[in-house]
Amino acid sequence: MHPHTRSAEESEVSLTPAAVREKSTRRLHGISGSAKVFAVLLAALIPLAMASAQTPRTHTAVLAEFSAAIEELCVSASPAVVQIEVRTRALVSDEDDGRAGLFAKQSASGSGVIVDTTGYIVTNAHVAEGSRDIDVSVADMTDPANKDAHRHYPARIVGMDKDTDLAVLKIEASNLPVLSFRDSDALKQGQIVFALGSPLGLEETLTVGFVSATARQLNPSQPLSYIQTDAPINPGNSGGPLLDADGRIAGINTMIYSRSGGSEGIGFAIPSNVVRHVYEQLRKEGHVHRGTIGVVAQDIDPLMSQALGLNRHPGVIVADVLPHGAAQAAGIEQGDIVLAIDGRPVTQARQVQNAVLQAAIGDTIAIDVLRGGERLQMKVAVLERPNSPLALADLVNGQSNLVRELGILAMTLDEKVTPDLPDARRLYGVVVAAIPAEFAALNPGLQPGDVIYELNGDKVRTLAELRTALSKLQPGNPVALLTEHDGTLGYVSFTLQ
């Protein structure tokens, strides 16, 4: 219980267990939906702690009320959670000598959540990656009496972001049930959460747990932090929502730590604030532009604090301000202590990284710093990272730039493109601008920003020449592309599908 309610708690101790339960239950009046879960737990804890004076029937009533609140959450949230079946084609391994070199159909399943009534669905990128066909199973709301009734829709991939492991799918439907996002920054350790999804292909499976940690950074080189939970998550839960007690999306379940392959109580979800930001960009543009403010933030450790006389640990110091960047233009200096971003206190460097990660290009963030004992606030613009290959994606569109045989969107290396590729080794070629998710299974390993110079030893100067050369080949023919990747020439060899 909260410290500021101490006097009320002391007065309640003198009440009988029945009176305590009645008073706690009265607090539930006016709270609708699954928000009752926390309140019911609170109402249950006090009388159960005074079990010596309670009857078994009272215990049963309290637990039944708690159970009913969870049932209500399931009824309201489950229809917006979908099962996703992905069909792919994979090369048969050499172990199967009779079929080596052939392609075989494979399928896998995952979960997703509907976030727009017109059929936009959020899931994990690793669920949809490499797909040839995607089938989405949605609860049939026209037949509420039959809870097992489902409708199946083919889905297309709107966009993918591998950095956050998120993807957006679209099915052609309307008036679908949806779930809303909550503010994941407001999550607290110990809050009760619910995982909904299709683990091992079992649709509409609910598991319950708590928030074990609100911001677990798994890779020090990457800014993304995850929600850690002990709610059991298993293969097939990927892409499904982690819900709060109000049935709102707190995160998207994405991975587990496991020695056995099953759930061991250490699961991770992508925070909803990141999910919402990525979803909006993928829906609008099909890809995500990464921003930068031009600073290197570093955690203050005890030795640094002592050596620099900072008297601040934990804390964050600006270790570097990049020349000609947004932070420099705003007035931030090397050695500044970062106190807050957009009014939220900052104690770890990853919080600075996360704030930039969640901001859109062109946004302005307010950074409070301490400099020589004076607190200052700087307004810093979020700019696109220089030489980003995603700038190329904005120059292409659909079928006119699609090279289906390679699973790429491409364009001729010309005066429009050279500003984004100033260090290209040659003055001709075909630039890989983007990898459309729906054709990614056909991509032999090319990446955005790669330049194709030759096909099977013949020069390729334009997109038209590349298409002509590919049209002369048959499925099963060997192909070797001479490409430039990150300033280095190399061959990409594969069998044409």
pLDDT tens digit sequence for 434-465:
888 777 778 898 988 899 999 998 999 999 99
Q: How many residues does the chain have?
A: 497
Residue 297 pLDDT greater than 50, yes or no: yes
- Please give the structure tokens belonging to residue 375: 């607190």
Contacts of 153 (CB under 8 A, 6+ apart): 119, 135, 136, 138, 171, 172, 173
Q: Is the pLDDT of residue 197 over 80?
A: yes
In the block, tokens 């079928």 appear at 399
Task: Please give the torsion angle defined by the CA atoms of residues 218, 221, 226 and 229, in that order, rounded to the nearest 10 degrees.
Answer: 10
Question: In this predicted structure, what is the pLDDT of residue 14?
Answer: 41
Q: What is the pLDDT of residues 38-65, one digit of tens each?
A: 555 555 555 555 554 555 567 788 888 8
Question: pLDDT band at 260, cuts 50/70/90?
Answer: low
Per the model's pLDDT, the better-predicted residue between 484 and 262 turns out to be 484
Average pLDDT of the segment spanning 255-269: 71
Lowest mean pLDDT among 338-342, 392-396, 445-449: 392-396
The residue among 441, 422, 418, 429 whose CA lies nearest residue 466 is 429
pLDDT at 113 over 80: yes
pLDDT band at 35 (very low <50, low <70, confident <90, very high): very low
In contact, 290 and 384? CB cutoff 8 Å: yes
Above 90 in pLDDT, residue 129?
no
pLDDT value of residue 146:
75
Percentages helix, strand, coil for the chain, rounded to the nearest 5?
30, 35, 40
Dig out the tokens for 88 from the structure: 């792919």
- pLDDT tops 90 at residue 183: yes
pLDDT digits (tens, 9 = 90+) for 351-370: 898 888 888 888 999 999 99
Q: CA Rg, the chain, in Å?
A: 27
Tokens of 497: 């599908």
Cα dihedral sign for 309, 310, 312, 313?
Answer: negative
pLDDT tier, 2 (very low <50, low <70, confident <90, very high otherwise): very low
Whether the CB-CB separation of 43 and 25 falls below 8 Å is answered with yes
Which one is predicted more confidently, 40 or 193? Answer: 193
Residues marked as catalytic: 126, 165, 238
Question: What was the pLDDT predicted at 337?
Answer: 93
Percent of the chain topping pLDDT 90: 34
pLDDT band per the 50, 70, 90 thresholds, residue 20? very low
Q: Which residue has the higher pLDDT, 93 or 112?
A: 112
pLDDT surpasses 60 at 96: no
Query: Which class for 372: exposed (0-12), middle (13-18), buried (19 or more C-beta within 10 A)?
Result: exposed
If you average pLDDT over every residue of the chain, what do you get? 80
326 pLDDT above the threshold of 50: yes
Q: Which of 4-18, 69-83, 222-236 has the lowest mean pLDDT?
A: 4-18
